[in-house]
A and B are shown apart, each in its own frame.
Chain A
């Protein structure tokens, strides 16, 4: 089974929409890999364009963000843009329904944490690495500054979402079951 986790980036804003994750002008692409260079191209944090070219951003495999992530357009391109950039898990306080479904449909994780848990993650110093134990539904955040500084959280996955991840997505699941 697929491994989840890796270096994390933090997008500290509510309501990040799918137009910001991948602008409409790239929706004319008919291959997922063509989306790769354009991830988060129109994202503003505190009114300032997000620096997606930074080394940290390029290396990220985990996104930690706030409430109502992925709202707006239904474009699955937003999920694919993460997928082709090797991002395999998004952690947020809440997700827009279509985005969350698209994540699990592609066999990747959208995990919800409480606000106070997210505050703790956001509060960690240094570069953060996230590891996930899917069997135990356990997520650990490590800091590069202090090997003692780690945070462990339990999370909940809907049983069906978990099955989709195990099956490798909704198409494979539906093909077998319906």
Chain B
């Protein structure tokens, strides 16, 4: 019987099988941010267990609220900073060098094919784009990860989604994943790994693959995963040069992680996107998705471009294509946050930041900011936001606010018209 990529990774990292259904895995990377980690650190300290299993395998960042907005968030940052120093954690990213965790860590080359990764953050599934098993966990799992370098999971079952067809103009990875969530529902993949395959995924850049895997959790999945290939190897090349003589050699080696042809899946879904048009959410669940065309004319008060879903340079470029030479509609506030300092720098050099500013946007430093309604762009009661983020839950970006999730193209189109708008009319 063949194995899926997830099964291969589990097998290679198996530490213990405490019951027939459960597997305790050795971890390659434990990622930490300032919202869920401080309580773990404090608890370990109180219990006399303030140790880290391997300081080189811990990657930490202050990203959710940065710069600190009040004394409480300042304290969270302080706890992280002191802990990183105490344990000599070199890969710790503080203000000036920090950015949204799921955009920053891949950019640093921390995630490789075949790795096991956890973080106290549900969108850790993003890193599956590299052919890794990457799962969001709670603080206790994180605590044990930091202390012992292990985490327990149920044996993986995999749902395969094979995506084919030619993408229409103005349709991007965000539209594809929204359509998938709509079709399988918010718990369509609970307790499963989603393996994304097919010609569309093969043609996607790492940025698009990350967008796809990022929202796997919105369908309940433990992890989204793409098979590592030439695109992966080329992205990682600066970091793997000493491991492989050539990119070809890396591509060849990565094949060992690919699912076997006779691997077994809980289900295989064929997803043809040839007729797909830009997508948007309505209501408070990410599987409430319509064609943008059906929602056209819905007024928005704010647009938000950023986050681990769509705050990368490709996303900013998409938005800028529409914003170039145009202005924010009256009564619309525009907020953009490039997800990392590198993305910010590239956007500056490419003139994209100027395009945003000329259009009337507020350009923020790299941070999660408004995505989770904690800082920098929170909505007032009754306000509506067109957003490139990943959650439209009630109250997510501010109590009583409504969030419509969409692509950077669609968000930029809403920015200049003031209403939800099909972006294709601005593209040629």
The answer to the question of A135 belonging to the interface, with a C-beta cut-off of 8 Å to chain B, is no
Given the complex of chains A and B, what is the CA–CA distance between A42 and B190 in angstroms?
24
The answer to the question of A1 belonging to the interface, with a C-beta cut-off of 8 Å to chain B, is no
| B22 adjacent to A68 (CB under 8 Å) | no
Report B112-141 residues with CB < 8 Å from chain A CB: 120-122, 124, 136-141
A15 CB contacts on chain B under 8 angstroms:
186-187, 285
B261 CB contacts on chain A under 8 angstroms:
none
Given the complex of chains A and B, what is the CA–CA distance between A119 and B138 in angstroms?
30
The answer to the question of A74 belonging to the interface, with a C-beta cut-off of 8 Å to chain B, is yes
Partner of B16, one of A68, A102, A178: A178
Given the complex of chains A and B, what is the CA–CA distance between A175 and B143 in angstroms?
11
Using known A-B contacts A28-B72, A28-B76, A96-B187, determine if residue A159 contacts B395 with beta carbons closer than 8 Å.
no
Using known A-B contacts A28-B65, A68-B186, A96-B190, determine if residue A105 contacts B18 with beta carbons closer than 8 Å.
no
A136 CB contacts on chain B under 8 angstroms:
none
Closest CB of chain A to B324's CB: distance in Å? 34
Q: For the complex, count residues of B whose C-beta is within 8 A of A.
A: 58
Using known A-B contacts A28-B65, A160-B22, A174-B144, determine if residue A74 contacts B136 with beta carbons closer than 8 Å.
yes
Closest CB of chain B to A57's CB: distance in Å? 19
Report B174-203 residues with CB < 8 Å from chain A CB: 186-187, 190-191
Given the complex of chains A and B, what is the CA–CA distance between A32 and B21 in angstroms?
31
Report B80-137 residues with CB < 8 Å from chain A CB: 120-122, 124, 136-137
Most B CB within 10 A of own CB, among A32, A42, A67: A42
| B395 adjacent to A42 (CB under 8 Å) | yes
| A75 adjacent to B220 (CB under 8 Å) | no
| A24 adjacent to B144 (CB under 8 Å) | no
| B391 adjacent to A158 (CB under 8 Å) | no
| B393 adjacent to A19 (CB under 8 Å) | yes
B360 CB contacts on chain A under 8 angstroms:
none
| B144 adjacent to A171 (CB under 8 Å) | yes
Given the complex of chains A and B, what is the CA–CA distance between A19 and B122 in angstroms?
12
| A97 adjacent to B191 (CB under 8 Å) | yes
| A20 adjacent to B191 (CB under 8 Å) | no
Partner of B140, one of A27, A68, A106: A106
| A169 adjacent to B140 (CB under 8 Å) | yes
| A23 adjacent to B399 (CB under 8 Å) | yes
A154 CB contacts on chain B under 8 angstroms:
none
Given the complex of chains A and B, what is the CA–CA distance between A35 and B164 in angstroms?
46
Given the complex of chains A and B, what is the CA–CA distance between A69 and B395 in angstroms?
17
Give B371's nearest chain A residue, CB to CB: A24
Partner of A158, one of B21, B143, B285, B373: B21
| A44 adjacent to B152 (CB under 8 Å) | no
| B72 adjacent to A72 (CB under 8 Å) | no
B393 CB contacts on chain A under 8 angstroms:
17, 19-20, 72
Report A101-133 residues with CB < 8 Å from chain B CB: 101-102, 105-106
Closest CB of chain B to A33's CB: distance in Å? 12
| B399 adjacent to A42 (CB under 8 Å) | yes
Most B CB within 10 A of own CB, among A75, A99, A174: A174
Report B31-85 residues with CB < 8 Å from chain A CB: 35-36, 38-39, 42-43, 47, 49, 64-65, 70, 72-73, 75-76, 79
Using known A-B contacts A19-B395, A178-B15, determine if residue A68 contacts B220 with beta carbons closer than 8 Å.
yes
| B143 adjacent to A30 (CB under 8 Å) | no
Give B70's nearest chain A residue, CB to CB: A28
The answer to the question of A94 belonging to the interface, with a C-beta cut-off of 8 Å to chain B, is yes
The answer to the question of A163 belonging to the interface, with a C-beta cut-off of 8 Å to chain B, is yes
| B137 adjacent to A44 (CB under 8 Å) | no
Closest CB of chain B to A113's CB: distance in Å? 16
B150 CB contacts on chain A under 8 angstroms:
174, 178
| A94 adjacent to B187 (CB under 8 Å) | yes
| A42 adjacent to B21 (CB under 8 Å) | no
Give B219's nearest chain A residue, CB to CB: A71
The answer to the question of B331 belonging to the interface, with a C-beta cut-off of 8 Å to chain A, is no
Give A43's nearest chain B residue, CB to CB: B394
The answer to the question of A144 belonging to the interface, with a C-beta cut-off of 8 Å to chain B, is no
Give A100's nearest chain B residue, CB to CB: B191
| B395 adjacent to A105 (CB under 8 Å) | no
Given the complex of chains A and B, what is the CA–CA distance between A174 and B35 in angstroms?
23
The answer to the question of B19 belonging to the interface, with a C-beta cut-off of 8 Å to chain A, is yes
| B137 adjacent to A71 (CB under 8 Å) | no
Closest CB of chain B to A86's CB: distance in Å? 19
B412 CB contacts on chain A under 8 angstroms:
none
| B394 adjacent to A171 (CB under 8 Å) | no
Closest CB of chain B to A4's CB: distance in Å? 19
| A19 adjacent to B391 (CB under 8 Å) | yes
A163 CB contacts on chain B under 8 angstroms:
18-19
Closest CB of chain B to A154's CB: distance in Å? 19
The answer to the question of A98 belonging to the interface, with a C-beta cut-off of 8 Å to chain B, is yes
Partner of A72, one of B47, B148, B391: B391
Give A102's nearest chain B residue, CB to CB: B138
Q: Which residues in B have some Cβ–Cβ distance to A below 8 Å? A: 15-16, 18-22, 24, 35-36, 38-39, 42-43, 47, 49, 64-65, 70, 72-73, 75-76, 79, 120-122, 124, 136-141, 143-144, 147-148, 150, 152, 154, 186-187, 190-191, 220, 222, 284-285, 372-374, 391, 393-396, 399
Closest CB pairs A-B (n = 5)? A76-B138, A102-B138, A105-B140, A160-B19, A28-B72
Q: List 12 A-B contacts (CB under 8 A).
A: A24-B372, A28-B72, A32-B39, A68-B186, A68-B220, A71-B220, A96-B187, A106-B140, A158-B19, A159-B19, A160-B152, A170-B141
